[in-house]
């Protein structure tokens, strides 16, 4: 038996397809990438909606993956709004550190958001730890929560934050061999202006275990 289907197209960035059955008809909300979908995709769509067929689901996932260039990029402000921002640790207040550095070194020009990031899940014993990261898409600096310990000195946290703030200023460059270089010579020279640069590096060498174990 044929069923009525109402289709509504949208430009969402996360959920590409939803459906409900309502008064004997299907109401589907689809991303506009489906407008140009070939028949086999429409067949998978129908199978998925009717029976939740896992094969059809995989086919749809693959189609969405191939067409993700049609998914609108979310502006940084919106990405930031979706984040849970946590600046206040038990020992180190990232907001305060960021604002202090911004004033002292950057004439308040760094327009980025800072937060303790969720600790990345790593299996087995760790050999290294990524203490900070910067996302150019969202303009968010993430700091590893392992740094929020009383034994981690403030100048060390400051150094990690300072380093990530520099990533906000210096864009990655392509080297002649084609590889991306994020720590350009200019970046590294600028980093040396940090007041406790050598002390922070020394502390890291001597205390890496403390960070890895946390
Ligand atoms: Zn870096």
Domain check: are 96 and 62 in the same one?
no
Q: How much is the pLDDT for 177?
A: 67
Domain check: are 118 and 189 in the same one?
yes
Q: Are strands 140-143 and 113-116 parallel, antiparallel or unpaired?
A: parallel
Among 132, 188, 129, 189, smallest CA distance to 158 is for 132
Confidence of residue 63 (pLDDT cuts 50, 70, 90): very high
Q: Give residue 133's domain range.
A: 76-213
Domain check: are 81 and 8 in the same one?
no
With beta carbons less than 8 A apart as the criterion, state whether 178 and 188 touch: no
Q: How many domains does the chain fold into?
A: 2
Helix (H/G/I), strand (E/B), else coil: 190? helix
pLDDT digits (tens, 9 = 90+) for 132-164: 999 887 889 999 999 999 999 999 999 999 999
Centre of ligand 1 from the C-alpha of residue 182, in Å: 7
Domain check: are 12 and 90 in the same one?
no
Domain check: are 64 and 90 in the same one?
no
Domain check: are 59 and 128 in the same one?
no
Percent of the chain with pLDDT strictly greater than 90: 52
Under 8 Å CB-to-CB from 7, ≥6 apart: which residues? 28, 29, 30
Domain check: are 12 and 104 in the same one?
no
Centre of ligand 1 from the C-alpha of residue 148, in Å: 19
pTM of the model: 0.65
Centre of ligand 1 from the C-alpha of residue 164, in Å: 6
Centre of ligand 1 from the C-alpha of residue 62, in Å: 33
Place of tokens 């899940």: 121
């Amino acid at each position: 038996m044929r069923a009525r289907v109402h289709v509504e197209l949208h430009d969402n960035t996360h959920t590409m397809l939803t459906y409900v059955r309502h008064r004997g008809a299907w109401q589907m909300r689809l991303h506009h990438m489906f407008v140009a979908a070939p028949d086999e995709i429409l067949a998978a769509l129908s199978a998925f909606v009717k029976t939740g067929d896992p094969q059809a689901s995989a086919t749809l996932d693959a189609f969405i993956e191939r067409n993700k260039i049609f998914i609108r990029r979310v502006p940084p402000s919106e990405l930031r709004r979706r984040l849970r921002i946590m600046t206040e640790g038990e020992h180190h207040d990232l907001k305060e550190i960021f604002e202090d550095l911004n004033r002292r070194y950057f004439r308040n020009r760094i327009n980025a958001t800072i937060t303790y990031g969720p600790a990345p899940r790593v299996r087995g014993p760790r050999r290294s730890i990524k203490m900070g990261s910067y996302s150019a898409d969202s303009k968010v600096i993430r700091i590893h929560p392992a740094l929020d310990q009383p034994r981690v000195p403030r100048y060390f946290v400051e150094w990690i934050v300072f380093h990530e703030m520099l990533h906000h200023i210096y864009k990655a460059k392509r080297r002649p061999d084609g590889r991306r270089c994020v720590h350009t010579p200019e970046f590294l020279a600028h980093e040396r202006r940090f007041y406790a640069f050598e002390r922070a590096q020394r502390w890291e060498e001597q205390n890496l275990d403390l960070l890895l174990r946390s």
